């Protein structure tokens, strides 16, 4: 039985994208990236990295590994040129439960990255694995990815109590990648752990103009420790940039959660198949006209650093 969301496994879709740009310069870890935005730091809540290297083998489930690498040097150059000061690395599905590459990159660039790991949610060893990973510098929590179909029913299984309890006891964060159809199951868990910070990735990829499914996401606003990444506008939209058909939905999420519980994320490098890193940032910084300057300060940085402090 598969433990993760098939359509989001970078879907082997990323392996046919020529998204990795030439590296203009190698950034040394001791050189801080300074934000070009006046008065506040911009932090990216959602990026992935990987490389073809026998030291970091692909998981046995990865039958079609990516054809292009997504190295930190390329990401750092994009961050530098867009005034982004730091980023949250999300363990990529290609490695499954082996988080070695992500944590090695964090060690190589101290102060610039934090990492959200993966553990096998169906394994009895997962709490011990999470406890071990939590001791690694840069650890920023764990991510679960329950599929919408029966293969994701482990979200209602026996390993959830020990995993969610441990995450809470660690004072860490639970990140969830799933569809809106699974949000009632997530709500049941959140209700049992109301003081645990829970981050919902990509607005749960809520389909456009579906108020029933959107309401499942909006209903989570009653839990004060739930946060939402307003990302994947480019994936949900049926238009091109600036994806105006998604703005009403984002506005409704903003009205319900408020800017202090929302965060932007680029989802690099997958975003390169739709628009550029710069445009992904611009969607929130420039195109959502209902946001004021204080809103942007929270969504682009302060909310992210409140959930995942860099200091």
List average pLDDT for each run of 10 residues in the chain, which is 311 residues long.
45 40 35 50 98 97 95 98 97 98 98 98 98 98 97 97 98 98 98 98 97 98 98 96 97 98 98 96 97 98 96 69
Q: To the nearest 10°, the Cα dihedral for 170, 57, 90, 187?
A: -70
C-alpha to C-alpha distance for 38 and 34, rounded to whole angstroms: 10
- Please report whether residue 1 resides in a domain: no
- What interhelical angle do 247-257 and 211-218 show, nearest 10? 30
C-alpha to C-alpha distance for 290 and 65, rounded to whole angstroms: 41
Looking up tokens 């610039």 gives 112
Q: What is the pLDDT of residue 254?
A: 98
Q: What is the pLDDT of residue 4?
A: 52
Q: What is the pLDDT of residue 40?
A: 86
Q: To 5 degrees, how large is the angle CA 140–CA 143–CA 147?
A: 170
Which one, of 102, 81, 46, lies nearest residue 303 by Cα?
46
C-alpha to C-alpha distance for 84 and 36, rounded to whole angstroms: 8
CATH of the domain at 141: 3.20.20.140
DSSP run (H or E) holding 214: helix 211-218
The number of domains in the chain is: 1
**Hey, what are 26's tokens?**
């190698």
| Percent of the chain that is helix, strand, coil (3-state, to 5) | 45, 15, 45
Task: List the domain range (segments joined by +) for residue 288.
Answer: 6-307
Q: What is the pLDDT of residue 46?
A: 98
Q: What is the pLDDT of residue 1?
A: 43
Other beta carbons within 10 Å of 73: 17
- Please report whether residue 204 resides in a domain: yes
């Amino acid at each position: 039985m598969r433990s993760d969301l098939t359509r989001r496994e970078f879907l082997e879709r990323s392996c046919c994208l020529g998204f990795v740009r030439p590296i203009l310069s190698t950034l040394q870890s001791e050189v801080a990236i300074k934000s070009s935005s006046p008065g506040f730091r911009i932090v990216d809540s959602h990026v992935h990295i990987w490389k073809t290297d026998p030291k970091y083998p692909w998981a046995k489930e990865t039958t079609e590994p990516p054809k292009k690498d997504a190295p930190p040097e390329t990401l750092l150059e994009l961050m530098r040129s867009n005034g982004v000061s730091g980023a949250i690395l999300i363990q990529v599905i290609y490695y499954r439960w082996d988080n070695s590459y992500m944590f090695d990159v964090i060690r190589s660039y101290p102060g610039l990255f934090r990492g959200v790991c993966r553990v096998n949610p169906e394994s009895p060893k997962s709490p011990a694995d999470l406890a071990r990973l939590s001791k690694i510098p840069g650890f920023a929590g764990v991510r679960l990815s329950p599929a919408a179909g029966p293969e994701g029913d482990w979200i209602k299984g026996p390993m959830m109590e020990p995993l969610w309890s441990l995450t809470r006891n660690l004072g860490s964060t639970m990140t969830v990648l799933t569809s809106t159809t699974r949000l009632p199951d997530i709500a049941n868990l959140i209700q049992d752990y109301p003081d645990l910070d829970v981050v919902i990735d990509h607005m749960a990829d809520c389909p456009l103009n579906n108020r029933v499914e959107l309401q499942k996401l909006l209903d989570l606003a009653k839990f004060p420790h739930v946060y939402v990444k307003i990302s994947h506008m480019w994936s949900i939209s049926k238009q091109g940039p600036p994806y105006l058909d998604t703005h009403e939905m984002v506005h409704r999420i903003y009205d319900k959660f408020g800017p202090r519980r929302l965060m932007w994320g680029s989802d690099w490098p997958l975003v390169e198949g739709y628009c550029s890193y710069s445009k992904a940032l611009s969607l929130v910084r420039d195109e959502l006209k209902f946001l004021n300057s204080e809103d942007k300060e929270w969504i682009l940085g302060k909310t992210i650093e409140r959930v995942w402090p860099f200091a």
